[in-house]
Structure 1
Amino acid sequence: MCWSLDTEMVEIMNKSNMMELQPDEDRIKALHIWIAKLCNPDVNFCVSLLDTFVTTCESTIEQNYDGGKGKYTHLADKKLAAAALPFSEEPGKDGPVYSKNPDGSIIEGSYKKGVPHGYFRHINAYGDIELFCCFIRGVIHGPCWKGLPGGGFLVSESWTFTSDDMVFLYPDCRTALYGSFYKGQMVSGQLCRILSGTGHCSYFCGVFKLAVTQPDGEVYSYDPSTATRISSQPFLPDPYEAEFVEVRASTIPKAGEGLFAKVNIDCGTVISFYNGVRVPCIEDSNDLADDNYRIALDEDLDLDIPSDMTSIKEYNASLGHKICHSFTPNTEFETFYHPRFGIIKCLISVKEIEEGEEIFVNYQYSLSCSPDWYKVSWAKHQKLVRRLPDWKLTLLLTDAFSATGNR
């Protein structure tokens, strides 16, 4: 299903067997290159596209816009509200504009006759794309893109990201959820795959639109955890995560289950999600020793897996809690915005991982309040790293060090 919902495209797709459609790998590669440039804060992306804008979008569309008789006048309801304009304080400004604020956020764009005309990009203080879109005489032209913590994207022809025809794009930029969203929150979405990406109004347009397969299968909705409920659908797996990892018996003796790679994984790939009930942070670290599944979400909240939900027979909507610890891990925790779970943690690879390889992360417990198995593991690791003669001696030294109140 194409973003523009072109009638001919819809008819073709309704007559076709979607399973037989193959992705256009060249255009998917072009999409990935475009996204990499879109997210690069060191280059004025909008200025780099101006020549393309003049020769494609402006020349083919603006000539039909003057006089109010052009075919694009029906887009008037997509004008950006004045209060939301990145440079509304400079309404008379013409030409390119650029601003880098003290917090690191960046706003760049272009004006003509006092209204947005060209590409606009707003990068927030965290380095995420707050908004990327194109204007023709102050009217939105093509899809709007919004980057999310962890590497996902929202793509919509509504700058408020409220639409029945929107996509949440997972970090692989191949897997997506298509459906209805309200102000960026998913009301209902179904799994689809990216077939290709291309310019909105022409092959050379600087705003990419997506062509996706027919949405199908389970219906997902925004369902963040609370202090007492981890999920209203605990047995509905995440479709992206299911492509990367599975749960099997860990290679670590007596560790129980662990997380394993189902495919070869490149470094820097989001591969699993850590959802849990949202509970206040524990200030007394001595109370943490019995919380084997508790991890920090932010300064105020932790994520925890209830004791009756630790087994995948009771909960498998996310699998990150099954990962085992290592002081030489191949993943690390990062913050992630998930369309279903909201702000959670994810596991991102820090090195290449081979298919069938077990996945590990450093739990980073404080030694003074960590369980005994963690202290033993730390001592063995220190023996190897520092070439100490006996890990048991290291452990005794660790306990003595912890008893002084140091960490």
Structure 2
Amino acid sequence: MVIGLGSMLGAGVFVVFAPAAAAAGGAGLIIALALAGFIAWCNATSSARLAARYPESGGTYVYGRERLHPFAGFVAGWGFVVGKTASCAAMALTIGAYLWPGRARLVAVAAVVAVTAVNVRGIGKTAAATRALVGLVLAVLALVAVTGAPHVAPDRLDGLADIGIRGVLTAAGLLFFAFAGYARIATLGEEVREPERTIPRAVPLALGVVLAIYLVLAVVALGVLGEERLAASAAPLAEVVTAAGLPGLAWLVRAGATVAVTGVLLSLLAGVGRTTLAMARRRDLPGALAAVHPRYRVPYRAELAVAAVVIVVVALGDIRGAIGFSSCTVLVYYAITNASALTLGRDPERKLPVQLLAALGLVGCLVLAVNLPAASVLAGFGVLALGAAWYALRHTGRG
């Protein structure tokens, strides 16, 4: 559960409320957050069931291959790699926005270089470090909530009559970015005792805690800053503390955000590198990326390639564009997760209607994906189409 909290409480909570508020407005933000949390729960339930059946690394890349078709597995893996690469860029830009707003891109590039240098030497984040990270993040978020709560203006939470369904769906798709990471629990199938019992318990607990934290912070941020100011903010949680009359504490929030997001960036870059390695070994990506360092035993070429792409995205893109693109491709990834779970059939040992949750998750992921900002949808499905073309050409060549 701690690993799940450490994976989710990263860049998303520090930045995603702003574009979501711009899309859905005030009260729509709260509804969108609840919707994103529910779909994340459906996805997590399906991920947990599949992880118990296939306790190996690879996630939906494996599930899609085994339960549906190798092409479905490829699309999932490709979507994960490109989507999480964009997530890495968003996290790096979040570090820049909080640490040095005037030089956000430069700081972001430096963060990617530093984290990659750590990863290629084989230094991973341990469970103990994850606990420390979670403790730090919770302390920073508690500071924001406590300082902001007395300054919440109830009138800033109004506006239910002005909510548009499209805006709520767009915001929910963007807010899904803040929940991304719960599947990391499911990928631990090879490393935990009794995965069929442990993982299904850890996933909903971690998601429930995170959703409660996000709801509190969304209400505080919206109630203190108001819809327009929140929508325009690059570092909303730091701005909450400033608006509450304690600008001296804003740097504490900025420093905490920097450390927290750096920790998640460290693990996520490593995870994308390893998924790239798995796909390269099966020739779903260029075989040259499958090289493992003879001394440090890490997929250094994959790590360096991912880092290079992240730096390009950081230099050319922005946080909101990266979040939208990442959400689109990762929602497709989880749509395949739910489709794979549907093939498992009913589970008589579980009280939850798992087949219904998988069906709702599948539909929900696709609905949220197509309702994201148009540029994100076009870029996301365009990159997925390029991957599908690569897959078709490779298999045509084999034939």
Q: Please give the range of the TM-score, normalised by the shorter of the 2 chains.
A: under 0.3
Calculate the TM-score normalised by the size of structure 2.
0.22
As a proportion of its length, which structure holds more strand? 1
Which structure is richer in relative contact order (CA contacts within 8 A, separation 6 or more)? Answer: 2
Calculate the TM-score normalised by the size of structure 1.
0.21
